[in-house]
């Protein structure tokens, strides 16, 4: 069944799902159902973390009604982090781990 492209000219995401193939090492598929068909992306932990980092960076740009609405996290001292602080911490952690993975022995 051929689908019509969206009115904006951009591909529209209809749904997203993951399928795990292995837990150690972590390997799976990210399946994106779009108005122009299904996209399957094979990924491991490093790819998944880089995708998550890119999405976090996008969410951080939101302001007003489009400000991030993820649940706040709690720091080790018991104080709550705001949504933006939580996203900053998450992105910093992901990028640091990706750097060390790329530069280790």
Query: 49-79, pLDDT tens digit by residue?
Result: 899 888 888 888 888 888 777 644 445 555 5
Tokens linked to 99: 């750097």
What is the reported pLDDT for 44? 96
Backbone angles phi, psi at 24, to 5 degrees: -145, 95
Instruction: Give the domain ranges of the chain.
Output: 13-103
Helix axes 45-60, 83-103, angle to 10 degrees: 150
What is the reported pLDDT for 82? 56
Alpha-carbon gap, residue 52 to 46, rounded angstroms: 10
> For residues 18-38, b (16+ Cβ closer than 10 Å) or e, as one string?
eeeeeeeeebbebeeebeeee
As a whole-number percent, the residues of the chain with pLDDT over 70 amount to: 60
CB 82 within 8 A of CB 74: no
Q: What is the pLDDT along the chain (105 residues), one digit of tens a residue?
A: 455 656 778 899 999 999 999 999 999 999 999 999 999 999 999 999 899 888 888 888 888 888 777 644 445 555 555 555 656 666 666 666 655 665 555
């Amino acid at each position: 069944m051929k689908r019509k492209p969206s009115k904006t000219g951009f591909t529209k995401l209809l749904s997203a799902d993951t399928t795990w193939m292995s837990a150690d090492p972590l390997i799976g598929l990210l399946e994106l159902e779009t108005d122009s068909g299904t996209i399957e992306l094979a990924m491991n932990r490093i790819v998944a973390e880089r995708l998550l980092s890119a999405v976090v960076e996008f969410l951080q740009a939101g302001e007003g009604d489009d400000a991030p609405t993820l649940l706040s996290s709690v720091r080790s001292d018991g104080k709550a982090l705001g949504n933006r602080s939580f996203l900053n911490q998450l992105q910093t952690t992901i990028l640091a781990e990706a750097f060390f993975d790329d530069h280790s022995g």
